[in-house]
Amino acid sequence: MKYFFLTEGWGYKRVWQRGGLWDTVTWRRPPHISCLKIGIEENGEILWLYEVEEAVLMVEVMPSTPEAKKNSNIGQVVLKRLIDSSQVIDALVSAKKVVNENS
């Protein structure tokens, strides 16, 4: 698995695999992308941890709520550097505050 942190109020749109955009016809399913309901607080914002399958290379993210769109001057971002589990652990350990909605 690969991972990325995403600001609360943002969502993903397009997903790339090796060779281009994710093709649901070829794969016969959408890519596995799941919010793990654990996050970190950074600069007053909550960044939620998402897990993606190994075949995913890049993910396009953008504000998905009206509040996030109003608070951001960024329209969209393509995440090219997905992180591995050891980097997730480092981020959680070094975070000032960890947020968990699973409990």
pLDDT at 68: 76
Percentage of the chain beyond pLDDT 70 is: 99
Query: In the prediction, which pLDDT does 65 show?
Result: 82
Looking at residue 74, what is its pLDDT?
76
Intervals of the chain under pLDDT 50: none
Q: Element (H or E) spanning 39, and its range?
A: strand 33-42
Task: State pTM to two decimals.
Answer: 0.89
Q: Looking at residue 1, what is its pLDDT?
A: 95
Which of the 8 DSSP states describes residue 65? S
- Residues facing residue 98 across a β-bridge: 40
